[in-house]
Amino acid sequence: MEYIHKSSLKSHGNLRPSTCLVDSRLQIKLSGFGLWEFKHGTKHRLIPLENPKYEEMYYTAPEFLREVYYPSNGTQKGDVFSFAIIMRELIYSTEVGPYHDVHLEPKGNACVVFLSIYHEEPLRPTLSVDICDERLIPLIKACWSENPDHRPPFASIRRQLRDACPESHANILDNMVNKLEKYANHLEEVVEERTNQLTAEKSRADKLLSSMLPK
């Protein structure tokens, strides 16, 4: 996301779990951006009044939900809000959405965002120190702040994540090194096995050729 924000794209605009893909190396590959204008022929998105996809609105920044039209590629501050909601889902490891413990239907969860302009506290997913590292709670809350200007940029988010969980960062590196070592050892075994097979095939070919030559 930091790279996208520094590129000519400027922002993603459609960040949600379904656009975060995982490859065979367990690396995140972002998708679902940069094609809206090409596909729909417009630079703006319109939230449909009939049969809207309320679950997708969970990841849409509240300032966009209050507009009839908003930029198809969103904004950098909108991306930070989406990132915060996704981050909360990762921490809670839930597949039923970020508002699973709020007793409202998807329509109600999305619509309450509109009502937050009339309440002191806007609706946000719950964060418990029993599940979420207390060092991450201030960061997540800052990322989904009602005021877009209070949301930190991704360069700052990356630094704060590294500072908040240095041991987690180390564990990730350790796991990566262990996986690379296992892969290298497995690769050596595969190479040795294939080499033995090649040597055996060559020996059989030599014997066959020797039997075919006149003596």
Residues 82 and 183 placed together within one structural domain of the fold: no
Residues 21 and 120 placed together within one structural domain of the fold: yes
Could you tell me which of 81, 86, 209 has the C-alpha nearest to residue 150? 81
pTM above 0.75, yes or no: no
Residues 178 and 194 placed together within one structural domain of the fold: yes
Residues 68 and 150 placed together within one structural domain of the fold: yes
Cα 69 to the center of its chain, rounded Å: 25
Residues 81 and 178 placed together within one structural domain of the fold: no
d(CA 31, CA 21): 7
d(CA 154, CA 87): 13
Q: In the chain, what's the furthest Cα-to-Cα distance?
A: 102
End-to-end alpha carbon distance in the chain:
73
CATH of the domain at 127: 1.10.510.10
Residues 43 and 101 placed together within one structural domain of the fold: yes
Residues 115 and 134 placed together within one structural domain of the fold: yes
pLDDT value, residue 25:
75
Averaged pLDDT, groups of 10, the chain, 215 residues long: 91 91 83 73 64 75 82 90 92 76 59 49 82 87 94 93 67 62 76 88 85 76
Residues 85 and 160 placed together within one structural domain of the fold: yes
Residues 45 and 64 placed together within one structural domain of the fold: yes
pLDDT value, residue 153:
96
44 CB contacts (<8 Å, ≥6 apart)?
Answer: 69, 70, 71, 72
Residues 147 and 176 placed together within one structural domain of the fold: no
Residues 47 and 98 placed together within one structural domain of the fold: yes
Q: Where are the alpha helices (DSSP H) in the chain?
A: 2-6, 36-40, 54-57, 62-65, 76-92, 106-115, 137-143, 154-164, 166-212
- The domain tally of the chain equals 2
Q: How many CB atoms neighbour CB 188 within 10 A?
A: 10
Q: What domain range is 205 assigned to?
A: 166-215
